[in-house]
Amino acid sequence: MSARKKLVAGNWKMHGSRAANAELLGGILQAGPFGADVAVCVPAPYLGEVGITLAGSAVAWGAQDCSAHEQGAYTGDVSVSMLSEFGCRYVIVGHSERRAYHGETDQQVADKAKIALGKGITPIVCVGETLAQREAGQTEEVVKRQLSVVIHTLGQCIGEIVVAYEPVWAIGTGKTASPEQAQEVHALLRAQLRAASQRADGMRLLYGGSVKPDNAATLFGQPDIDGGLIGGAALKAADFVAVCRAAG
């Protein structure tokens, strides 16, 4: 059994309101403490309020993206310095929705991870293949390419990140990679990280893609799956709590 402490991070995506957030966070806090580390990654306008609500609790908070630039004329972007001021512990970078809808490249993702680490924020770096790529037998090639740019950019600091494997075909579709499929890719990523860092065995690799209360325990029971990056189930307190409990 792995000695790595599991991490469950909720990705709210572009969901939420002040009232809904308060209800959701209240339910999570009431259910704690958990055996796993728990975090919520929330839309930028809510970071201040969420930080106040969670201050002093065991639940961490983070952002869903950051700029690769420190500051400047980048209208609409949010810098890691700003996130740091709001107490962010994590920031998601390279989510497939950012890659697909905003054209983010592997190098931009790596640059965001680097600047986040420089401010003491842990990047949750997402990798994953589309259905077409999986059916073409390109899963290994795609995820290794995505991660290799991050490894090259971060150097010895690679051991400080969290990696999330999210098969694009399983995000919000109700389809989930089987535990065996997910473990196969996680083991591949772990081997790639071992070649780059002595700390690879201590790094947390998360699975994301239609994780729910009824499949979480089986997924989290795989030897190289150290928790989850949770989408839809993170928006309902009962579901998110159940997933967190499945992790420890």
Q: Given the residues 49, 95, 102, 186, select the one marked as catalytic.
A: 95
What pLDDT does residue 173 have?
79
Burial class (CB in 10 A: 0-12, 13-18, 19+), 213: middle
Q: What is the pLDDT of residue 2?
A: 54
102 is catalytic: no
Catalytic-residue membership of 95: yes
- Which residues make Cβ contacts (< 8 Å) with residue 37, sequence separation at least 6? 5, 6, 7, 8, 60, 227
> So where are the chain's domains?
7-246
| Tens digits of pLDDT across the chain (248 residues) | 457 999 999 999 999 999 999 999 999 999 989 999 999 999 999 999 999 999 999 999 999 999 999 999 999 999 999 999 999 999 999 999 999 999 999 999 999 999 999 999 999 999 999 999 999 999 999 999 999 999 999 999 999 999 999 999 887 777 778 999 999 999 999 999 999 999 999 999 999 998 999 999 999 999 999 999 999 999 999 999 999 999 98
Cα 166 to Cα 127: distance, rounded to the nearest angstrom: 6
d(CA 68, CA 46): 21
Q: Which of 97, 104, 129, 166 is catalytic?
A: 166
CATH code reported for the domain at 7-246: 3.20.20.70
Rounded CA separation 183/47 (Å): 33
Q: What does the pLDDT read at residue 177? A: 85
pLDDT at 1: 42
Burial class (CB in 10 A: 0-12, 13-18, 19+), 19: exposed
pLDDT at 168: 92
